[in-house]
Chain A
């Protein structure tokens, strides 16, 4: 009986106690191991980054205008962004999907861990995700302009102080607008491989009393030349007058706004892309139809085209910049 009772103590108290202590010890060890390892766990961050980045892309795509978002990256992750989802990787991986609009152009990209930020740029139907510092000036063109096979250049103003209708445009430190528009017009004519017509004569007199001066041309003669021209489009060249800023503007006629907007947009985007200078703003501005007697309204009212106002008389262009602008205008026509 006694042995049986001792057996009962061992069997029913000591063994379960020992087993329980052993199991509790294992559980405690496991818990400590988990607590020790949780600081190194990146699963939460991976999931967070996948979702946050995917939702940020969705938000950018849902905004109707153009958007640039600078997105900071923390942690040692690689981001693979494909057409459908954001995949965040380190020793493990998580993903979260986003949804493009139909027709959105996007080149899948991989962002390596060494980068600490990325730029999400949505321009019209184009989505760009890159670590490079991209410009957000680009305009949304809403489509392509028709094929252009010939151009009439209207280099704004003319310089001839001997003429009673002399119209040199803005002046600053001995530089006049008529000089800049002449150089731009000449550069355009020299770079073009399509037929070019001109309103204002793009060569100045070299001999006689008129040497170095422009042949006078008034607004009615300009309009007459534009009206009778067979060229597809008109490009009128001007410069602005701002203290420090460098804007590139395109004025278009309201009667053909949608098509002229596309033409202006492609030209401005090319200038912005090629010109190595800080541009403070690009703008496409419809002329006010209430001022139909305005010179610009009259010039642009005769033919499809744009009136470009490039830079400022107080922030002069170098010869190389003039050539770059001319080439960019021609690239914008393609």
Chain B
């Protein structure tokens, strides 16, 4: 066998073994990837967090302590102070009638321009009554790395 043949066989077995290893890896990892894809929670958490924010900005009945969803009398940042514990990488911008309030404004201003590449963004609009019927816009920016 000359040097050319040895080199040829070397390349052949290198490709052969590489493909075989890829096949082995595929058998083990592809099913896990499929299972993980099936576990995607899609927008469920975003919906839940938006609901939390929506309840916080909505009015609460003094006597029954029930939240009157969609009825907004005051619209200020303080409403959202307790929405999430500090360690959560999440921010909200809520817009109503030309006014904006924020939860975690610093993170919002940092992360919003980087969405949807580095951070994720979830937008929703809801009909509310703020003296007259209006549209409330909720923008949620978050880090989805789990």
Contacts and interface: CB of A to CB of B under 8 A. Distances in A.
Contacts, number: 80
A23 B49 CA distance: 51
Interface stretch (B19-27, B70-78, B105-113, B124-132): B19-27
B99 interface: no
B39 A99 contact: no
Interface string B69-113: 000000000000111111110100000000000000000000000
B32 A58 contact: no
B2 interface: no
Contacts of B48: 55, 58-59, 62
Given A23-B20, A84-B87, A102-B84, A62 B51 contact: yes
B55 A64 contact: yes
A102 B81 contact: yes
Interface size on B, as a range, is: 35 or more
Interface stretch (B59-67, B114-122, B133-141): B59-67
A96 B146 contact: yes
Nearest to B20: A23
A27 B28 CA distance: 11
Nearest to B52: A62
Contacts of B87: 84
B88 A51 contact: no
Contacts of A31: 27
A96 B45 CA distance: 12
Nearest to B63: A286
A55 B44 contact: yes
Contact of B65 (A51, A61, A104, A142): A142
Of A59, A99, A102, most buried by chain B (CB within 10 Å of CB) is A99
A96 to B, nearest CB: 6
B39 A47 contact: yes
11 contacts: A19-B16, A23-B20, A27-B20, A30-B24, A34-B27, A34-B28, A59-B48, A62-B51, A62-B52, A62-B55, A97-B146
A287 to B, nearest CB: 11
Given A27-B20, A43-B35, A102-B84, 19 more contacts: A23-B16, A27-B23, A30-B24, A34-B28, A38-B31, A55-B48, A58-B45, A61-B52, A62-B51, A62-B55, A63-B55, A64-B67, A83-B85, A96-B146, A99-B49, A99-B85, A101-B82, A102-B82, A103-B82
A55 B146 CA distance: 13
Contacts of A48: 39
A303 to B, nearest CB: 20
A65 interface: yes
A296 interface: no
Contact of B84 (A34, A43, A99): A99
A84 B86 CA distance: 11
Contacts of B52: 61-62, 101
A160 to B, nearest CB: 37
Contact of B35 (A19, A27, A44, A97): A44
